[in-house]
Amino acid sequence: MLDGTNATVCERTALRINPAKTCQPIGAMYAALGIHGCMPHSHGSQGCCAYHRSHLTRHFKEPVVATTSSFTEGASVFGGLSNMTTALSNIFSIYDPEVVAVHTTCLSEVIGDDLPMMIKKNIAEGKIPEGKHVIHANTPSFVGSHVTGFSTMVKNTIKYLSDKTGETSDSVNILPGYVDPSDMRELKRIAAELGVKITMLPDTSDVLDQPQTGVYTMYPRGGTKVSEIQAMGDAIATLACGDFASKEAAEELEKKCNVPFSLIDLPIGLKGTDTFIDTLRRMAAVPVPASITLERGRLLDLISDMSQYFHGKKVALFGDPDHVVGVTQLLVEIGMIPTVVITGTPGKRFERKVAEIVSKVSPDAHIEANADIHKLHQIIKNRKVDLLMGNTYGKHVARAEGNLPFVRFGFPIMDRTGHRLFPLVGYRGAMYYLDKILDQLFDKADREVPEELFELIQ
């Protein structure tokens, strides 16, 4: 399909070809699913909601519930207040959620619907039952990305629900960033190993990775409870993972409830996980147990065993900015050379972070935010690489470039199934991905090596 892509790069300012991102409402919907008993609500047309649900379903292989204001031509002209009022009435009477998390779409943003006003009006008219909550996030698809939509929804969840009673608890807040349920589960496991009491927001574990019991549950047992979100204002500190997905929420909690925060990169690889564990143990004033030290040692041993195969291999990677920063750090740790590094999310700080990580091993790397996969492909044609890493949309590029070894990570992965059960974060996540990377390199070598050199042992 992409065999016609040429190597001549033309700078484009008003056009994206194969964007390395998707739209804000998808991120907002995913964040809302990490609240227990929450119904995500798309304030726009039915088609938008259907697309966002299906995109998440294809990645997680789980049913994704959401409601919509179902705009028609009338709402587009006269505004969506009537649609919102009817929707909230139906949602609470039929589905009985604890929280309705409303996010906007392009259409409702363009016509200028005032969501705070709509929510206040419905509260004043008794349309929202006592003890229930409606929160909102403005997420137009024509700016930002799914990462910024996620960030805005988490920030506004704190703005609406978190509070401070004046009595500091012994809990630490963890904002995990836009990661899979398996990653959130792994971060909770590490915190439990350290003996640290935490509140994670959002938490999609046990929501989008439910076990098969034969019984469908609209509101699974997972997700951060409203009472836990409200108590986040009493925590001793907040650990925010990921500059792009978690920083704004951490700043909002500090501003509203005076909870100090530390901002780190996603805990991917050796250095990233070290930083996560060290920051968490200092916040809670706890020692690092032997079990964690042993996990770290196993990762170090694996890196030592594999380093001869990784050394000097050039890599092109793309995806969400926080993911890409962490994976770039991991690649440098194992002796690989990140040569082309892009994200579809805008933000010059992404370029600065990656440039700092690769400065010693790949000072001439092509690093770009707000880029697309078409440009990535063109640059690869000018700079030969040994490995491509990114989401499902990279498979066409890998095929067009002679079945270039390709390792999937991030969001979305729609052509594989087991990925959602295995973390990328933590020492265990790094071990899993190192094995995936080396398997791809070995498989290519086995396919291309002359028969007389085809050995059982690599």
Catalytic site residues?
106, 110
Provide the β-strand partners of residue 259.
none
With beta carbons less than 8 A apart as the criterion, state whether 267 and 170 touch.
no
- Return the C-alpha torsion angle 388, 391, 392, 393, nearest 10: -80
**Would you report the helix, strand and coil content of the chain in percent, each value rounded to 5?**
50, 15, 40
Q: Within 343-386, where are the H helices?
A: 348-358, 373-382
- Stated as kind and residue range, the H or E segment containing 336 is none
Q: Apex CA 246: angle with CA 240 and CA 247, to 5°? A: 85
Give backbone dihedrals phi and psi of 99, rounded to 5 degrees, phi first: -135, 140
In the chain, the largest separation of any two C-alpha atoms, in whole Å, equals: 81
Report whether the peptide linkage leading into residue 202 is cis, meaning its omega lies within 30 degrees of zero: yes
Q: Apex CA 176: angle with CA 173 and CA 178, to 5°? A: 145
**Rg (alpha carbons) of the chain, rounded to whole number:** 23
Q: Taking the mean position of all CA atoms in its chain, how far away is CA 299?
A: 24
Give backbone dihedrals phi and psi of 421, rounded to 5 degrees, phi first: -100, -5
Closest of 424, 408, 423, 33 to residue 208, by C-alpha: 33
Give backbone dihedrals phi and psi of 449, rounded to 5 degrees, phi first: -70, 145
With beta carbons less than 8 A apart as the criterion, state whether 432 and 298 touch.
no
Closest of 101, 148, 80, 92 to residue 320, by C-alpha: 148
Extended strands (E) in 162-225: 172-175, 198-200
CA distance 347 to 233: 29
With beta carbons less than 8 A apart as the criterion, state whether 40 and 67 touch.
yes
